[in-house]
Amino acid sequence: MLDFLELDDGGLLHFQPNFLPAEVSDRCFEQLRDQVDWHQKPALFGHMQPRLSASFGDVGVTYRYSGTVNIALPWIAPLLEIKQRIESVFGSYNFCLLNRYRSGADSMGMHADDEPGMGNVIGSVSLGASRSFRIRHNRTKETRTFPAGNGTLIIMAGTMQQFCKHDVPKTKADVGERINLTFRQIAMETN
């Protein structure tokens, strides 16, 4: 069982730098950067998301958030390799949302992954450049920052999505590219 940091109101966070060996992280980063068909999707209020994204997973899985529809493409080798490594320590996942941060200007705003039909465990792996991952408690406003570097694993569980928000803020620092993989368990839609 992994060690979890217990947050207020039942949230759980596991932070593990160097979860993936550097050679695995570097290889998977290059494969995903070069082989994935990346897209910049619309965000709220007619703007574009400040990052590129892609979606992979089990056949028939669709993830909806903030007005975007993410239909899973079939798993590819580097994602299956990382998925198996995470599942060997915690969780079970049928979907992966990939976000590609091209520079410090690309970001993810403060949000919670609390959409209906999504489980309460998210396994997140960072590849490439190090960026800050912040969590903020909704009631106390306490904010914690974690350095999400190459090969870092972050698992969010418990009631974290109900009581906390998280983000990857912009930075003016000269950082390289980063790819973040968020593995989730999404309920299958029924018609």
Q: Is the dihedral of CA 84, 13, 21, 104 positive or negative?
A: positive
The confidence score (pLDDT) of residue 129 equals: 97
Longest dimension (CA), the chain: 48
The confidence score (pLDDT) of residue 97 equals: 95
The confidence score (pLDDT) of residue 47 equals: 73
Q: What distances in angstroms separate CA 95 from CA 6, 163, 171, one per listed residue? A: 26, 23, 29
Which residues lie across from 101 on neighbouring strands? 178
Q: Which residues of 42-51 are buried (b: 16+ CB within 10 A; e: fewer)?
A: eeeeeeebbb
The confidence score (pLDDT) of residue 182 equals: 97
Binding-site residue numbers for 2-oxoglutarate are 99, 101, 111, 166, 178, 182, 184
CB 153 within 8 A of CB 14: yes
pLDDT at 121 over 80: yes
Residue at token pair 């989730």: 184
Q: Is the pTM of this model over 0.85?
A: yes
- Per cent of the chain over pLDDT 90 is 79
Q: Strand, coil or helix: what is 42? A: strand
* Count of helices and strands (H, E) across the chain: 3, 14
The confidence score (pLDDT) of residue 64 equals: 82
Binding-site residue numbers for substrate are 63-65, 114
What are the structural domains, with CATH classification, of the chain?
A: 5-184 (2.60.120.590)
Mean pLDDT for all residues in the chain: 92
Binding-site residue numbers are 63-65, 99, 101, 111, 114, 166, 178, 182, 184
